[in-house]
Amino acid sequence: MRTDTERYHELLGALALATDLSFEYPEGLPDDLHSLVRKVWGLRERVQVVGMQPKIREYLALFKEAEVIYNSDASWETKFKLIFSDEISVRMGELFRQNYYDPDTIYEEDLSAWFRAQEEQAAEFALLWELE
């Protein structure tokens, strides 16, 4: 039978190998080890956020560019063409997967649907950025 310390070290090993945030706490850990695992996992999440900072920074910068264009006095067609470009929307999609409903109607509605989704994502990233 493994000791709690051995189980904890196994957990740390598994945690070190994890590449995403899908870690689940094992059942039946003593409270003191559960607390330690939570602390270590919190540090792991922080390290991943710090590792993502260059991508988050670039995404937020691109979002700011899109925001300036979106709020400009240009026509919706011009805004659409400038934002839905390799330099802005395509690059943002390469950085982070983009999920939004595209109504596929007129320039204003299509762009507004995309912009609202990016606005929500940017707000979430801004919260992560505060963890720094």
Same domain, 62 and 115: yes
**Domain hosting residue 14, numbered range:** 4-50
Kind plus residue range of the DSSP H or E element containing 95: helix 91-95
pLDDT digit string (tens) for 38-95?
665 555 555 555 667 788 889 999 999 999 999 999 999 999 999 999 999 999 999 8
Same domain, 64 and 45: no
pLDDT number for residue 103:
82
| DSSP conformational letter for 24 | -
The last residue of one of the domains, among 16, 31, 50, is: 50
Look at the chain and report how many structural domains it folds into. Answer: 2
Same domain, 59 and 44: no
